[in-house]
Amino acid sequence: MTTATIVLASSSRYRRALLDKLGLDRLGLECRTDAPDIDEQALPGEAPATLVERLALAKARAVAPRHPNALIIGSDQVASIDGQMLGKPGGHQAAIAQLERLAGRQVCFLTGLCLLNSATGRSQSCCESFWVSFRHLSQKQIAAYVERERPYDCAGAFKSEGLGIALSSRLEGADPNSLIGLPLIRLIAMLEAEGIEVLGP
């Protein structure tokens, strides 16, 4: 292991809570967060999987100069339906509109993940897919969910770790943590490739 610092290139409290589940501080690692400032717009014709993996790397690289000897985690997520991408709604009406579109449909949530070693320049990245089958929902049900959860900072307005689970009839994927924004199974493997054993003493 060449570093004692882990930096999460995100201001998301959801991703920080997921990272904390790994108990990296128990291994003597300091975990920090540093919000990147990047352009998150898709490039013309860019596929959703390509977008989230590119942005995950871009986020990690954006904060790397401030952390020259660290392992930096970048992540990005979109929902994909009918070939179009849905990001964070950002507000009440947009959240309702997104969920009205997703109701009764199967939607793919794509989460890009990157682990960048700022000391060596080595990066590992991937895109994790997770499928959500949404129930047929009434306008009243959608409004009640949005009012209670206010999922304005969640892709597709879907907050799976909270009441959002009531919106779905089936979840399919390798790692449910990816729905919340940080694929921990893949992250653990990336950390191990950098010499950090999450289950180590």
Cite the active site residues.
76
| Greatest extent of the chain over all pairs of C-alpha atoms, in Å | 53
Task: Identify the CA nearest to 180 among candidates 85, 77, 90.
Answer: 77
| CA distance linking residue 76 with residue 66, whole number of Å | 20
Residue 102 near residue 156 (C-beta atoms within 8 A): yes
Task: Identify the CA nearest to 115 among candidates 68, 75, 72, 76.
Answer: 72
Element (H, E) at 14: helix 13-21
Residue 60's SS3 state is helix
Residue 133 near residue 102 (C-beta atoms within 8 A): no
